[in-house]
């Protein structure tokens, strides 16, 4: 097979496998796990108006991360599919397929550059037929050297793409910014490597370099998970490009090339920090050094560097949130061992950097790429599966490289590829099963409530589960979930928990329990117009008309534009015989309904 035909076949196969593994996410809905904040309750991405476009590039309230191109991507999906979740899930899957193809091209190029004399035999017309025959006979393989390298590159890309840690960003609508940012970051990497390839012409080098800078700028405008990109470029310069100490380049020139990338990163950092300290939306401002001391921040960083080094090797018991950073003290053994492990690995690889250049480069990239995910300004902060989407590529690069070297050294290409394929199939099976959890709120929060050990966090998951059950009309199960949440962690009970529990009781016509829960909710939030209104309705349902009149009159004062409040007040007034006032509020309710009706 000709090289370009083989590449096309591999690309199509990659897309088919990745699409197949994540196909059923297309049947998933939105989750009330930030999908509401970002998409289906966010009018700013539901229309490409001038006002919405201005908001996308200036917002620091809707999200504490600057991501204008991600807002724009959601808006473009909405233009085509409306609020049909299928379109948003399709965008995630297609972007993940595209990134898998770019990872394949990246790994293949890395294998070529790291293998001495790895010129493709079938692409070298100067080779004689006898030489080619001898090479084939010596290798005893079914593939040529170039085809074998392509096979390992594709296998490495699949090990990344179908890994269970990819399920969260692919199956979750809110995961789109990770895919968009990674797409442009991978493009920037491919262009950078082309600019610095041994056969690059001066004009081609300059063109590809500036294309790399432009692609990185787009990545930075998509999501700030790419802030550690400069470290990856330095790692590439060390190995396999071997530019440090090379005759054609000096250390100074190599580092100066990073100035545009570093400048873009610093601008993004400045904008993000400004947004964090001037946020006026639903988000809290960063904690102070008194509440989150420097030593604690450093220990948190060590833990996360270690976590994302071992978690890809043991992707078990996955959960959308891991509260370990909030449940443990930074002096506990797990944090001390993480710090010692990171320092020890770093020291050994630095000392052996000339003997193990690939390992040192991968470790340097690992440390740098994770900097945006370390939560150095955040408390609370949690490890998430989606945070591994970039540095997870490093494990795939390492595995592909190891398998390639083993196959070369022992002339056992087929067994090594078979072992890698078996591992890929196992990971794909786990991912396929994991996607079912992300289908809707009900399985999502059921799984979360079952896995979280902490009473506080499990209580919050049970609250969300109760909401999902209530949305499906199963108020009896919702009451059970809400009560379990209260029993698990009474101190964690919020206004929303008591209010939602009261609403479920009311829909079941369990008026005494509803009244008690509304009273508790109003003690936590006395001026909640919704709680006052529903409290009045519950009192009316239980026959306490005098108290119902008091609460419903207060509800009208708190929200005079509520048609429901006027209508409920009118009903109670009519029961009490005050027909004139009842007619007045009924008329006002009808007027407000007509005003709110779509035209």
- The mean pLDDT value for 53-67 works out to 82
Question: What pLDDT sits at residue 135?
Answer: 44
Question: What pLDDT sits at residue 549?
Answer: 94
458 — pLDDT class (breaks 50, 70, 90): very high
Nearest alpha carbon to residue 99 among 33, 29, 19: 19
Question: What pLDDT sits at residue 282?
Answer: 63
Q: Categorise residue 208: left if φ over 0, alpha if ψ from -120 to 50, beta otherwise.
A: alpha
First vs last C-alpha separation in the chain = 62
pLDDT above 70 covers a percentage of the chain that reads 92
Task: Measure the CA–CA gap between 287 and 377, rounded to whole angstroms.
Answer: 7
Question: What pLDDT sits at residue 407?
Answer: 86
pLDDT above 90 covers a percentage of the chain that reads 74
491 — pLDDT class (breaks 50, 70, 90): confident
Task: Measure the CA–CA gap between 215 and 69, rounded to whole angstroms.
Answer: 12
Q: What is the pLDDT of residues 188-226, one digit of tens each?
A: 999 999 999 888 888 989 999 999 999 999 999 999 999
Task: Measure the CA–CA gap between 206 and 200, rounded to whole angstroms.
Answer: 9
Question: What pLDDT sits at residue 147?
Answer: 86
Q: What is the pLDDT of residues 424-434, one digit of tens each?
A: 999 999 999 99
- Please indicate whether residue 485 or residue 489 has the higher confidence score (pLDDT): 485
**CATH number for the domain running over 441-596:** 1.25.40.10
Task: Measure the CA–CA gap between 278 and 262, rounded to whole angstroms.
Answer: 24
- The mean pLDDT value for 434-452 works out to 95
The yes-or-no verdict on residue 288 having pLDDT over 90 is no
Mean pLDDT computed over every residue of the chain: 90
537 — pLDDT class (breaks 50, 70, 90): very high
Question: What pLDDT sits at residue 599?
Answer: 59
The residues of the chain that CATH labels 1.25.40.10 are: 441-596
Instruction: Extract the tokens encoding 367.
Output: 């440390």
> How does DSSP assign 420-473, residue by residue?
HHHHHHHHHHHHHHHHGGGSSHHHHHHHHHHH--SHHHHHHHHHHHHHHHHHTT
The yes-or-no verdict on residue 580 having pLDDT over 50 is yes
The radius of gyration of the chain from alpha carbons, rounded to an integer in Å, stands at: 29
Helices 495-507 + 475-488 axis angle, to 10? 150
25 — pLDDT class (breaks 50, 70, 90): very high
The yes-or-no verdict on residue 529 having pLDDT over 60 is yes
Contact partners, residue 22, CB within 8 Å, separation at least 6: 93, 96, 167, 170, 171, 431, 435
């Amino acid at each position: 097979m000709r090289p370009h035909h083989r590449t096309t076949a591999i690309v199509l196969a990659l897309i088919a496998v990745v699409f197949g593994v994540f196909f059923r996410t297309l049947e998933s809905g939105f989750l009330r796990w930030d999908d509401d904040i970002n998409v289906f309750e966010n009018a700013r991405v539901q229309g490409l108006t001038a006002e919405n476009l201005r908001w996308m590039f200036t917002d620091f309230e809707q999200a504490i991360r600057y991501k204008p191109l991600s807002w724009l991507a959601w808006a473009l999906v909405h233009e085509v599919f409306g609020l049909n979740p299928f379109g948003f899930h399709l965008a995630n899957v297609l972007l993940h397929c595209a990134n898998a193809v770019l990872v394949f091209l990246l790994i293949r190029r890395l294998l070529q550059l790291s293998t001495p004399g790895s010129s493709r035999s079938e692409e070298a017309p100067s080779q004689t037929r006898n030489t080619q025959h001898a090479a084939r006979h010596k290798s005893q393989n079914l593939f040529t050297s170039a085809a074998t390298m392509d096979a390992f590159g594709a296998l490495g890309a699949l090990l990344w793409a179908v890994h269970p840690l990819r399920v969260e960003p692919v199956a979750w609508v809110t995961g789109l910014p990770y895919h968009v940012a990674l797409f442009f970051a991978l493009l920037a990497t491919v262009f950078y490597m082309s600019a610095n390839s041994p056969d690059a012409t001066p004009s081609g080098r300059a063109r590809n370099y500036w294309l790399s800078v432009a692609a990185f700028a787009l990545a930075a405008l998509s999501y700030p998970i790419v802030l550690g990109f400069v470290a990856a470029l330095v790692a590439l310069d060390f190995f396999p490009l071997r530019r440090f100490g090379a005759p054609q380049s000096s250390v100074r020139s190599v580092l100066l090339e990073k100035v545009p990338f570093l400048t873009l990163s610093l601008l993004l950092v400045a904008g993000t920090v400004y947004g964090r300290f001037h946020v006026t939306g639903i988000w809290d401002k960063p904690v102070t050094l008194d509440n989150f001391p420097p030593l604690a921040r450093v220990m948190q960083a060590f833990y996360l560097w270690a976590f994302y080094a071992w978690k890809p090797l043991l992707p078990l018991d996955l959960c959308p949130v891991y509260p370990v950073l909030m449940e443990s003290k930074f002096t506990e053994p797990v944090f001390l061992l993480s710090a010692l492990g990171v320092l020890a690995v770093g020291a050994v690889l630095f000392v052996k950097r000339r003997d193990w250049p690939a390992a040192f480069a991968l470790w340097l990239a690992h440390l740098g790429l994770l900097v945006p995910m370390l939560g150095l300004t955040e408390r609370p902060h949690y490890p998430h599966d989606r945070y591994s989407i970039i540095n997870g590529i490093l494990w795939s690069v390492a595995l592909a490289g190891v398998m390639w070297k083993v196959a070369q050294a022992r002339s056992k290409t087929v067994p090594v590829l078979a072992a890698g394929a078996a591992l890929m199939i196992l990971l794909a099976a786990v991912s396929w099963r994991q996607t079912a959890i992300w289908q809707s709120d009900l399985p999502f929060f059921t799984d979360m409530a079952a896995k979280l050990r902490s009473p506080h966090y499990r209580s919050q998951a049970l609250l969300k589960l109760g909401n999902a059950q209530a949305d499906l009309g199963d108020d009896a199960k919702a009451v059970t979930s809400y009560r379990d949440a209260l029993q698990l962690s009474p101190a964690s009970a919020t206004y929303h928990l008591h209010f939602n529990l009261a609403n479920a009781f009311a829909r079941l016509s369990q008026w005494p329990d509803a009244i008690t829960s509304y009273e508790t909710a109003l003690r936590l939030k006395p001026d909640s117009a919704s709680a006052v209104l529903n409290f009045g309705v519950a009192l009316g349902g239980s026959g306490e008309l005098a108290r119902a009149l008091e609460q419903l009159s207060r509800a009208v004062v708190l929200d005079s534009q509520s048609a429901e409040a006027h209508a409920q007040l009118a009903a109670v007034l009519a029961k009490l015989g005050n027909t004139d006032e009842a007619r007045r509020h009924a008329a006002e309710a009808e007027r407000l309904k007509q005003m709110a009706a779509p035209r």
